[in-house]
Structure 1
Amino acid sequence: MIPATARAGIGSWPARAEAWLDERGRPAWIAAMVLGFIAFWPVGLALLAYMIWSKRMFSRSCGARSAMSRHVAWNSSGNAAFDAYKADTLRRLEEEQIAFESFLQRLREAKDKQEFDAFMEERSRTASRPAADADA
């Protein structure tokens, strides 16, 4: 006879597996699908269908952020002041993340411009050298 706690654990493994994959993002879902195709093709096909049906395949928000937002939406503390504070803090953190990603993008663009300018300067120096050599 299986204890009740073990039976509850057996029934909840799909939800735990889904949460585990959501925490790791889209690459984990794709890896699970590929492994499913390798092990037994209907499992991979079922995972692919589920990913398309649940919009995990094409959404940009699959991952820790969406898992966190679902967790926040489902687990209210019951204290309105704390829930407002938590929502405000999460909103502020998301804004900081967006600002930081924008900062990183500007850094990448500045580095790319610097590398391109160096390339063009080197190219103009090498282009002017053969002309000077031909005159001599």
Structure 2
Amino acid sequence: MTYTDSYPSHRTARDNWFRRTEKWLDARGKAAWIAAMVTGFIFFWPAGLALLAYMIWSKRMFSSSTRCATRNAHFTMSRPTGNAAFDAYKADTLRRLEEEQGSFESFLERLRAAKDKSEFDAFMDERATRKDGPAEA
């Protein structure tokens, strides 16, 4: 038996260990991956760096963005269930929530505008007091 004959079985055992660890971490979510990466950095920094690179390369860090999750949730919520009363209730609730979201977004916009205006007014007042004050040499 040569080295090349024994190599595939050794590689398979390593892959099985790696795959089992990967599945275990996936089952526990993104926090488990981050905890493993931090632990790797603490005990042996190249291991932490390797985990970070693997997480980025395999897209585990960016696998579920809120935009996609929201879009998918809205898609699944828009399908009719077959129960007319529930579908009407669901449509009314979704309409009401969209109105509340619009109201809240306009409130936030007014709040940001008021904050910007107060900051700008403070800047202009400070600028006016600097011009009125003694000239610096």
* TM-score normalised per structure 1: 0.50
Asked which structure has the greater CA Rg, the reply is 2
* TM-score normalised per structure 2: 0.49
